[in-house]
Amino acid sequence: MWRRSAATRFAVPMVALGLLVSACASSDDDGHAQGETGALSTTNDINPKGRDELRDGGNLRLATSAIPENWNTLSIDGNDASISSILRPTMPRAYRTDAAGKLTIDTDYFTDIQLTSTNPQVVTYTINPKAVWSDGSPITWEDMRAQGAALNGADKQFLVAQSFGFDRVAKIERGADDRQAVITFKQPYAEWQGQFAGEAFLFHRSVTANPEAFNKSLIDGIKLTAGPFIVQSVDRTQRRVVLGHNPNWWGEKPKLDTITFSVLDSAAMIPALQNNEIDAVGLGTIDDVRTAKNTPGIAIRRATSNFWGHLRFNGAPGAILADRQLRIAVSKAIDRQGIVTAIHNGMVENPKPLNSHVFLAGQVGYQDNSAPIAYDPAAAARMLDELGWKLNGDVREKDGRKLEIRDVMLNSQGWVQMAQIMQQNLAQVGVKLIIDTRPAQGLFTDVIRPGNFDVAQFSLVGDAFPIGDLAQLFAYNPDDLQGNYGRIGSPELNALIERTVSELDPQQVIELANEVDRKIFEEGHSLPLYQTPGNVGVRAELANYGAAGLASYDYTKIGFVK
């Protein structure tokens, strides 16, 4: 499906930072509203051009929110969309996706991928015989076996962000030769195609060989990759990462010479576009759209984004929001439609909140399951009274404790604007919301992941593989939190997620996934707020890049027109 890369919800539940963390605009060239939030497009807007129309060479300059603190995106500390975006041109994946979420095998890496048996479930991967790591060594079945073993959950010392279904794999064996891997499952897994796809890059076996390597070997950088680009340099002083050509790349030669990622605060990104310091940036407000429109040489690309913003509750024991009913009361006091209207006003014709944790609006399977937290401030006030939180002046109290909740977020205009609206909503029912802004560096490793928040605002990324993410985001295991930073869940929800992930019939998967979604709302786990329209301001001569929607980029074809 803000977690996998293409069709469903949020296939790779990565944390979205940087240029796409704030609400993005969608407007026509005159700055008027166009389209509506919640209609997933099956097309994208990337200025498609043939290779013969592009110049050889050039540097694509992009913004990022932070230098990676751990380059292993499979790990908890590397589970960040800003890291993934830097690594994407350098790492192997099994499938490409188009704008509609359709999967095709990425033949640079695999010549064939087949579900060869259903009882037991067996998947056979045949690796491209030309595929090599950046040191020239071959990509083999052993890389896939090591990654599967690291992610299977058997050794809790591996600090895994998501299992990608490897907890359901019995074994990974050598096939006809070293270039073939045969995966046999002990339990059915609906999203087997996502195990080395979306943001589930295949890493060299040295990274996944043992917990020490998995958790720490990529803290200072990454050396062994297998894409058209490699990490050429990392300058922590200048806060810049440069990707250059991989000399051992066997595929089509990239048109670009380099891709440069510069760390910028969100407020500096639009000025950097204006000053010709970067080549593309997400447009978060109507003012951003107007600024981009009035900047010479800039075009606005438009396609519904797969990023979605949400409010995450902290329900850990001892937290002020540990009580499920209190979380529901707080949820009912928040006017999500009001937030979306304010954020997207003037940028889309009919802004709507996102009403699912599982599917993106417009995707097959999407339905509104948000009834348990429907906006009703009067009902919220009654619930708070019944829970013993009584008004004392402007703020409610219970047992001498004020109903004050700390809202942690990236320090950006879009997030703060949303928080201010929620602050006003909650004040009407006697809840005090404290806005706590933080820099991007360390936001997840030092604040969100340890649970240092009462509520937190951040984005998730959706793609073609939403079901496999359900356990990572919403199942609760105190000994293995994965992406459930709010520490909220129940045995019933865990069991329902397990049923869904085990189902191989596509229609049944959709029905069960919506049951999961309803239960998530009933738990007061989190509040989906909006799906970003996804406008991007780019250099007009930049081709095959822009508003990609759910599609994956071909980094060999991105370049500047002649």
Confidence of residue 406 (pLDDT cuts 50, 70, 90): very high
Is a pLDDT exceeding 60 seen at residue 39?
A: no
Residue 11: pLDDT over 90: no
User: What pLDDT does residue 311 have?
Assistant: 97
The larger pLDDT score, comparing residue 29 to residue 74, is at 74
**Residue 183 near residue 125, CB atoms below 8 Å:** yes
pLDDT at 21 over 50: no
Whole-angstrom CA distances from 445 to 4, 77, 451, 483, 549 are 22, 6, 10, 12, 28
How much is the pLDDT for 305?
A: 80
Q: How confident is the model at residue 361 (pLDDT cuts 50, 70, 90)?
A: confident
Tokens of 44: 């994208």
pLDDT digit string (tens) for 217-232? Answer: 999 899 999 999 999 9
State the chain's mean pLDDT as an integer.
Answer: 90
Mean pLDDT of 258-283: 95
Q: What percentage of the chain reaches a pLDDT higher than 70? A: 91
Residue written as token pair 């007009």: 540
Query: Taking residues 464-472, what's their average pLDDT?
Result: 85
CB atoms closer than 10 angstroms to residue 122: 17
Rounded distance between C-alpha atoms, residue 444 and residue 58, angstroms: 34
Residue range 425-444: mean pLDDT, rounded:
95
pLDDT over 70 (residue 263) = yes
Q: What is the DSSP string of 442-511?
A: TIIIIIITTT--SEEEEEEE--S--GGGHHHHH---TT--TT-TT----HHHHHHHHHHHH---HHHHHH
Q: Which residues contact 386 (CB under 8 A, 6 or more apart)?
A: none
Average pLDDT value for residue range 162-167: 89
Q: Are 156 and 479 in contact (CB under 8 A)?
A: yes
Residue 80: predicted pLDDT: 85
Identify which of 106, 149, 159, 101 has the alpha carbon closest to the alpha carbon of residue 306.
Answer: 101
Say whether pLDDT at 44 is over 90. Answer: no
pLDDT score of 349: 67
* Distance from C-alpha of 293 to C-alpha of 96, rounded to nearest angstrom: 32
What is the DSSP code string of 28-62?
-TTS-B-S-TT---S--BS----GGGB-S--EEEE
Contact status, residue 112 vs residue 182, Cβ threshold 8 Å: no
Classify 284 as helix, strand or coil.
Answer: coil
Q: Is residue 121 predicted with pLDDT exceeding 80?
A: yes
Q: Is the dihedral angle over the CA atoms 149, 155, 161, 167 positive or is it negative?
A: positive
User: Looking at 196-205, 284-293, 323-332, 374-383, which range is the least confident one?
Assistant: 284-293
Reported as a pLDDT band with limits 50, 70 and 90, residue 346 is low
Taking only the tens place, the pLDDT of each residue in 290-327 is: 999 999 999 999 887 888 999 999 999 999 999 999 99
pLDDT at 382 over 90: yes
Mean pLDDT of the 277-285 span: 91
Q: What are phi and psi of 242, to 5 degrees?
A: -120, 130
Instruction: Give the pLDDT score at 42.
Output: 57
Residues 6+ apart with CB under 8 A from 282: 19, 20, 22, 24, 269, 532, 534, 535, 536, 537
For the beta sheet containing 180-185, the strands, ordered from the edge strand earlier in sequence to the opposite edge, are: 110-118, 121-127, 180-185, 169-174
**Three-class DSSP category at 520:** helix
Higher pLDDT, 375 or 6: 375
Burial tier of 125 (Cβ tally within 10 Å: 0-12, 13-18, 19+): buried
With beta carbons less than 8 A apart as the criterion, state whether 537 and 275 touch. no
Where is pLDDT greater, at 319 or 461? 319
Of the pLDDT bands very low, low, confident and very high (cuts 50, 70, 90), residue 100 is: low
Q: Are 455 and 408 in contact (CB under 8 A)?
A: yes
What per-residue confidence (pLDDT) applies to 168? 95
- Residue 480 pLDDT > 90: no
Name the burial class of residue 402, with classes exposed (0-12), middle (13-18) and buried (19+) by CB atoms within 10 angstroms of its CB: middle
Q: Higher pLDDT residue, 15 or 500?
A: 500
Mention every residue, 6+ apart, whose C-beta is less than 8 A from residue 494. 471, 475, 476, 477
Are 287 and 345 in contact by the 8 Å Cβ rule? The answer is no
Residue 525 has what DSSP assignment? Answer: -
